[in-house]
Structure 1
Amino acid sequence: MSGWLLLVPAAVLVGFLAFLWHRLAVAPQWPRWVRWVVALLLAGLGALVLASFDVWGGAFTPAQMRPWVWLGTAFMASCLYLFLGLVPVWLASVVLWLTRWSHDHGAVGRRRLNRVAAPLVAALAFGATGYGAWEASHPSVTQVEVSSPELPEQLDGVRVALVADIHAGAVRGSAFTRQTVDLVNAQEPDLIVIAGDLVDGQAARYAPEIAPLADLRAPLGVFATTGNHEMYRDTANWLTAFDATGLTILRNESVPLTRDGATVTLAGVHDLEGDGEWASDVDAALAGVDPAGFTMLVAHQPRQALALEGRGVDLQLSGHTHGGQMWPLRYLVPLQQPMIDGLATVAGTQVVTTRGIGAWGPAIRVLAPPEVPVVTLRRS
């Protein structure tokens, strides 16, 4: 990554580390050696955060960098909880400073407050991160049932495994992809769809991390669409890498799925972040599709269902939200998306949105457990 592009996030990181150092070491008035220890620890963790931006990626293999990148991104997760805990303590200190102006600005009270709060907040923040690491490493299968009168009787009971947001790359490698493949195949689904954000980074460096996807098996096929992370960079090379694994990529197109003489349609669109040849095009994806038949659409973001009203799509399969990934970010998801996870009706279309099986940035999930929904289709 260009040094100029790193300048702004690096400046923000340094400023935040200075805030942490002041609140954790200076404000409690710990001895000088404690301040130095905290400063060196924060400086080391800050350097590891830079590793997550692939600053030294060309000099080391992904396997060599992965433990350090994991630790750096985990510290970023801890920073969320340090911020949520230390800012209220700082505000309380400001209130004491303002209200005790005639008594040395409450210096004794502020020191006592910070000596209690600083270690407590740090313990809670790193404890939440540790729990989040455990939660993120234990994906599960969620059962969902969707009914429609348009579904042919011959396909009643078809089971669709919905995979999204693997985010293989610098943090999660081929071992995690293999874990995902084994979990999905164990469900013996009839159809597997991957709703985008398979990867992060450059294909030349991280394509081997998705190689296990070649072992996904389902009688009706394995299909995928792009997510926003495929659109951020190296789109063409990633799609070539997906093709090489044997995935059928739905590039604003549809395919018929037939069982026992009955046919339904599976369509897929690119993510909304794409432009030019990678732009999302619902019209192209649904061209020639009978609106009276049963149609499923794979689209990375749930809000893509807002463009489906009146088009005869019976079910959309999506990911993207991560269920917020780390509490309390879940409560910010509705600012961008019409749903967070589960099954909901959006603009007249039933939408199943998975929290995803991977994680973006830190491999940390707090109160947003990773999942692979298995959607059972029923004729109502």
Structure 2
Amino acid sequence: MIVLVLLGLLAVLAVLALAHWYLWRRLVRDVSAPGGWWRRTGTVLAVVLPLLSVGALLGGRKFPLSVERWFAWPGFLWLAVLLYLLLALAVGEAVRPLLLRLPRRKAATPAAATESDDRPPVAVPSPERRLFVARTVAIGAAGAAAAVVGNGAYGVLRGPRLKQVTVPLAKLPRQAHGYRIAVVSDIHLGPILGRAHTQRIVDTINRTQPDLIAIVGDLVDGTVPELGAAAEPLAQLRARDGAFFVTGNHEYFSGAAPWVDFVRELGVHPLQNARVELSGFDLAGVNDLAGKGEGDGPDFAKALGDRDRARTSVLLSHQPVTVHDAVRHGVDLQLSGHTHGGQLWPGNYLAELANPTVAGLERYGDTQLYVTRGAGAWGPPVRVGAPSDITVVTLASLQA
């Protein structure tokens, strides 16, 4: 097992090294003169930036939060820039031959050429033309990557926007028609997103005046001593029937039990493979699949096994993949997060390989699954094509 982990790590490092060599070639070597200031500066950056990214990825397990922040901001942002630089340069590689040929430079006609020699002149781009095209592609790629990442970072740091979704439920009684659940997931408090981010989320939720608040996992990336103060604004959450919490996989990376106790102290009710009966429906919650390694995984039988199936049931479960268990236990609606909607396009296509639903509302048999894109970000504080959200899910009775 250790050998496989080491091989995987070496493969990742090799890919990173190859990607940075390619960037150095296209953005530094091809556009600058040997010994020039940009050649020297770009070469240093080609070494320092990947080291910062590796430090950001490993920092949470090696350094205290105060030190990790120094790696996280530049290291994670560079990973996002790296992705979109590579994509932009891939487009540049496609158009480079066209740019080299426009305008074409006609070759001189030899004096000894015969009138019958009607072969077209061969286009030979000059060194000046090659340098101009290289710089044009490099500047265009850098500008595009900066614009995409800048806009994506602004979207995360600005805070999530509200979505409204109505879910019709066949068994929901008339008196529960219009019941509103504020669903938030994947807040990811950590070295980048802190107390101010939590406060923005709390203020946004409270303005909706929901009947119930559901925090569907991945609240934190760190320990209670490190991030407890950042999570404290959750104590201000207000809803008629209270706020509820289930664990996500990242809670188990940080120590799930202390976080469960801490959110309880803040007035948020953990649902650990448990169920509460509310007026009109049952609300259940299961632990995340990551808890299996600690003997604390999801237990659907405990949460749902002895309930009255004539009543509507709403399940909080961090990962959408558990919807198949929800179907077997007759759940009417499952609320999940985990996917971030892919977070960074084209990551949504990868997320589709591991999740039945990446974002939005879909039906699986008699069970409906709603997946929020989440209110924060993991790794790069950037979202592209997958804006963060807090969703107000309104339950609709077919009897109303």
TM-score class, shorter-chain normalisation, is 0.7 to 0.9
Q: Secondary structure at the match of 1:32?
A: coil
Aligned to 2:185: 164
Aligned counterpart for 1:82 among listed residues 72, 80, 85: 85
Distance 1:173 1:330 in 2: 26
**Are residues 1:137 and 2:157 paired?**
yes
Aligned counterpart for 1:126 among listed residues 146, 149, 166: 146
The one-letter amino acid paired with 1:48 is: L
**Are residues 1:195 and 2:198 paired?**
no
Q: Deviations over 1:201-250 (max 9, x none)?
A: 33332232212111111111110111121233422233233333222111
**In the TM superposition, what is the alpha-carbon distance from 1:8 to its structure 2 partner?**
7.0
RMSD of aligned residue pairs (Cα, Å): 3.1
Residue pair 2:313, 2:333 contacting (<8 A) in 1 also: yes
Aligned to 2:50: 46
Aligned to 1:367: 385
Residue pair 1:338, 1:346 contacting (<8 A) in 2 also: no
Q: Secondary structure at the match of 1:160?
A: strand
Change (3 A) 1:104 1:55: farther
Deviates more, 1:12-21 or 1:146-155: 12-21
Aligned to 1:69: 72
**In the TM superposition, what is the alpha-carbon distance from 1:146 to its structure 2 partner?**
0.9
**Are residues 1:249 and 2:253 paired?**
no
Q: Deviations over 1:259-304 (max 9, x none)?
A: xxxx421011112222142212211210211111010000112221
Tell me the TM-score normalized by structure 1: 0.86
Q: Percent identity?
A: 38
**Are residues 1:312 and 2:330 paired?**
yes
Aligned to 1:300: 318
**Are residues 1:269 and 2:286 paired?**
yes
Aligned to 2:111: none
**In the TM superposition, what is the alpha-carbon distance from 1:337 to its structure 2 partner?**
1.2
Distance 2:330 2:12 in 1: 45
Change (3 A) 1:183 1:49: same
Q: Secondary structure at the match of 2:289?
A: coil
**Are residues 1:234 and 2:255 paired?**
yes
Distance 2:136 2:157 in 1: 33
The one-letter amino acid paired with 1:241 is: F
Distance 2:311 2:174 in 1: 12
Distance 1:56 1:301 in 2: 23
Deviates more, 1:366-375 or 1:341-350: 341-350
Residue pair 1:162, 1:192 contacting (<8 A) in 2 also: yes
Residue pair 2:96, 2:137 contacting (<8 A) in 1 also: no
Distance 1:246 1:51 in 2: 36
Segments of structure 2 that go 5 or more residues without pairing to the other structure are: 1-5, 98-121
Distance 1:149 1:306 in 2: 19
Q: Deviations over 1:35-81 (max 9, x none)?
A: 1111233444334324424649887653x754652232111111111
Q: Secondary structure at the match of 1:278?
A: coil
Q: Secondary structure at the match of 1:295?
A: strand
**In the TM superposition, what is the alpha-carbon distance from 1:92 to its structure 2 partner?**
7.9
Aligned counterpart for 2:233 among listed residues 202, 209, 212: 212
Change (3 A) 1:196 1:378: same
**In the TM superposition, what is the alpha-carbon distance from 1:165 to its structure 2 partner?**
0.5
Q: Deviations over 1:305-364 (max 9, x none)?
A: 112224221111111111111222122222111112121112431111111110111111
Deviates more, 1:9-18 or 1:213-222: 9-18
Aligned counterpart for 1:344 among listed residues 332, 346, 362: 362
Residue pair 2:305, 2:329 contacting (<8 A) in 1 also: no
Residue pair 2:274, 2:284 contacting (<8 A) in 1 also: yes
Residue pair 2:343, 2:386 contacting (<8 A) in 1 also: yes
Aligned to 1:334: 352
Distance 1:274 1:132 in 2: 32
Aligned counterpart for 2:309 among listed residues 291, 295, 298: 291
Residue pair 1:48, 1:71 contacting (<8 A) in 2 also: yes
Q: Secondary structure at the match of 2:291?
A: coil
Q: Secondary structure at the match of 1:40?
A: helix
The one-letter amino acid paired with 1:78 is: V
